[in-house]
Amino acid sequence: MNRNKLDINYQPIAWLGNRVKILDQTRLPSQEAYLETSDYREVITAIKELKVRGAPAIGVAGAYALALGALKIEAKNTSAYLTKLRSIAKAVASARPTARNLSWAVERMEKVARKDKAIERIKSALVSKAVKIHTEEAEATVRLSRFGAVLIKNGSVILTHCNTGPLATTGYGTALGIIIYAHKQGKKVQVYADETRPLLQGARLTAWELKKANIPVTLLTDSMAGYMMKQGKIDCVIVGADRIAVNGDTANKIGTYSLAVLAKENKIPFYVAAPASTFDLSLKSGAEIPIEERNMKEVTHFRGIAVAPGDVSAVNPAFDITPARYITAFITEKGIIKRPFAKGFENIE
């Protein structure tokens, strides 16, 4: 197998020179529809509405959004240009609060902008940087997947949550990338995919991606995962991440914390797979990670149809924090980080 060749036959994000093309994930699996735009505000909206989602993918989309914005800025001088760029960068970075990858990508883009004085060269440098971020992030997932595949034994039954494949990363994937990589190595693997309420990324996207990869997948509701573990049906749990603090506390899709507790209770390894761009070593613990609270209609309604009495209230935290003590190891593009995590984290940034 060619280590860096991505043999994935769909492209969640593509750069078309002065436009970005995004596979609309809200319409999967029933439709493969694309959004094509040169307007950075449309990309921000796509990020907010989860047309593009997954921590690494929104980092890449954010970089392209800033590149699109940068191309269209009209300014008398470099200082005015950079002021306008700053304003766009802020808007992009705040599209969604939890995933570190978005602000990480924006910060890297802004650093490039500050290296030159000529507006046209800055524009060009920003486009190049966005493309580079995309390429590097995609390649990082291939390396991450190769490292992680070592942990997957032939015949493994793996539980995963939400969606962490090519769609979520623009590369091979994080948790799902590892599974796909192990499968391509010829290992027999079987996946239980949590449907992942409220937005069903597991049912809609993970099942779709695993079908495309010809990997056996069985869907279950989030509430069934613990019982499957208890019955001895799960060999390991692998999930992705949206932000990882320096102590190892990890933000990921709501429900991850419950899985981690249940895995520990049932003595099942619990792995978190994420590229370096997801680590936020400036944060001491998970308590400092902002958790996005989304519209309660995502819980009370399903595809526009009310499933509960009209006036009922709901909570809708999109993520939760899994304390480091429940995590067996982190899998990154730089290798597997086992306990004590602090040592391995030193080489992340």
Contact residues toward a copy of itself (CB under 8 A) are 29-30, 192, 194-198, 200, 203-204, 207-208, 211, 217-228, 230, 254-255, 257-258, 261-262, 265, 296, 299-300, 302-303, 305-309, 311-317, 320-321
Catalytic site residue from 194, 242, 249, 320: 242
Q: Which is nearer to a copy of itself, 252 or 277 (CB)?
A: 252
CA dist., res. 104 & res. 340, Å (int): 25
Q: How near is the Cβ of 54 to a copy of itself at its closest, in Å?
A: 17
The Cα 52–Cα 331 span in angstroms is: 23
In this complex, which beta carbon is closest to a copy of itself, that of residue 67 or of residue 259?
259
Q: Closer CB to a copy of itself, residue 209 or residue 333?
A: 209
CB of 177 to a copy of itself, least distance (A): 19
CA 134, CA 57: separation in Å to the nearest integer? 9
Backbone angles phi, psi at 207, to 5 degrees: -60, -40
Residue 311 CB, shortest distance to a copy of itself, in Å, is: 7
- Give the CA dihedral 205, 206, 208, 209, nearest 10 degrees: 110
Separation between Cα atoms, residue 315 and residue 297, nearest integer Å: 9
Tokens coding 73: 């800025």
CA 349 to chain centre: 18
For a copy of itself, give the closer residue by CB, 257 or 330.
257
- Residue 55's nearest CA partner among 276, 286, 295 is 276
Closest approach of Cβ 190 to a copy of itself, in Å? 11
Nearest to 204, CA basis, from 58, 54, 311: 54
Measured from the CB atom, the residue of 37 and 206 that comes closer to a copy of itself is 206
Active site residue 280: no
Q: Is 259 within 8 Å of 279 (Cβ atoms)?
A: no
**Type of residue numbered 236:** C
- Residues that are catalytic: 242
